[in-house]
Amino acid sequence: MKQTVLVTGANGFVGRALCNELARRGYVVRAAVREPLRTVGLPGETVQITDIGVNADWSSALAGVDAVVHLAARVHVMHERTSNPHAAFRAVNVGATERLARAAAAQGVKRLVYVSSIKVNGEGTQPGQPYTPDDVPAPAGPYGISKHEAEQLLRQLAEETGLEVVIIRPVLVYGPGVKANFLSMMHWLHKGLPLPLGAIRNQRSLVALDNLVDLIVTCLCHPNASNQTFLVSDGEDLSTSSLLRRTATALGRPARLVPVPVWALRTIARLLRKEDVAERLCGSLQVDISKTQELLDWIPPVSADEALKQTARHFLANL
């Protein structure tokens, strides 16, 4: 019998790719969305949940469902306008997650895969000292804190109800259709703009969309995944300079990188009060995925270079 999987946040960047892959592998997909007009291209049945908050009614969406992938969340906000960010993040990322998980347990759903964030571990690592899933969590901002609190709540609920919970903490996700900073980076490279980022020797883990989706699907049914926490990446760490060069190659453009010293970049960023930008460009954030690979017998199916080529092709086709 085919398994029915409810995917929340189904019309998002990860959600769309996941729904398509689930359908391709023979799962019955039920896509939970807030805006029905954005369901074009989604396979399977769609259910509209206009309010995913603490008062959401999940009963009809969960009827007959075998497993849930919970992607919907209040994501990291670059320019926060809410007067109480902690409360805003907790309302969705903790309160709404609890509402869904308790409803799933009551409906007899077997497993819930929760896509969390590497920000539960922290904001950065020292080179050669990657995060592991067993590290003591050290979230720094409202988003990471709310994700950590949601993880704690789900583990407790798993003990109380028997619902199997799988937690995945991705690093930065890229792939066809990527937005935000990664998209901006591709625009800079495509235009041939000189970038003062040629001397950065940090190490950062990234994860291709196809690799994250493959792991999520694996965690839906693998017996060893039950009540475990996994980190995920491409298995290859890149410096910012190397990422720029390899992305430029995928775009068919030269990388015009100027080797400005990192200390100078950090000084300029401090003067402009953009320390967070400098940290993302110059700092390291590595993850150790050995537990994921060994416990699940999982290997990232797509290499970083192939994923960058796919991302570049989509970008060029949509200019």
In three-state secondary structure terms, 166 is strand
CB-based burial, 21-54: b 16+ in 10 Å, e otherwise: bbbeeebbbbbbbeeeeebeebbbebbebeebee
- pLDDT level of residue 83 (50, 70, 90 thresholds): low
Give pairs for 20-24: CB < 8 Å, separation 24+.
21/213, 21/214, 21/217, 22/217
Q: How far is CA 245 from CA 93, 110, 240, 282, in A?
A: 36, 45, 9, 15
Rg from Cα positions in the chain? 20
13: CB partners within 8 A, 6+ apart: 173, 175, 177, 178, 179, 209
pLDDT score of 77 more than 60: no
Our answer to whether residue 174 is catalytic in this structure is no
53-74 per-position pLDDT tens digit: 677 889 889 999 999 999 998 8
pLDDT score of 265 more than 90: yes
CATH architecture of the domain formed by 4-176+206-235+288-302:
3-Layer(aba) Sandwich (3.40)
Determine the Cα–Cα distance for residues 153 and 25; give it in Å rounded to an integer: 31
Q: Which of 27, 131, 143, 174 is catalytic?
A: 143
Backbone dihedral angles phi then psi of residue 122, each to the nearest 5 degrees = 150, -170
Return the pLDDT at 85: 78
Closest CA to 99 of 157, 152, 139: 157
For 232, the enclosing helix (H) or strand (E) is strand 229-232
Return the pLDDT at 36: 65
- pLDDT level of residue 46 (50, 70, 90 thresholds): confident
**Looking at the DSSP assignment, which residues form a beta bridge with residue 184?**
none
pTM assigned to the model: 0.94
Percent of the chain with pLDDT over 90: 81
32: CB partners within 8 A, 6+ apart: 6, 7, 8, 9, 10, 46, 47, 48, 49, 52, 61, 72
87-125 per-position pLDDT tens digit: 888 888 899 999 999 999 999 999 999 999 999 999 999
- Alpha helices by DSSP H, listed for the chain, are 13-24, 59-62, 85-90, 97-106, 142-161, 180-191, 209-221, 240-251, 262-271, 275-282, 290-296, 304-317
Closest CA to 311 of 176, 180, 174: 176
- pLDDT level of residue 7 (50, 70, 90 thresholds): very high
- pLDDT level of residue 80 (50, 70, 90 thresholds): low
Residue with tokens 């805003």: 88
159: CB partners within 8 A, 6+ apart: none
Contact 35, 11 (CB under 8 A): yes
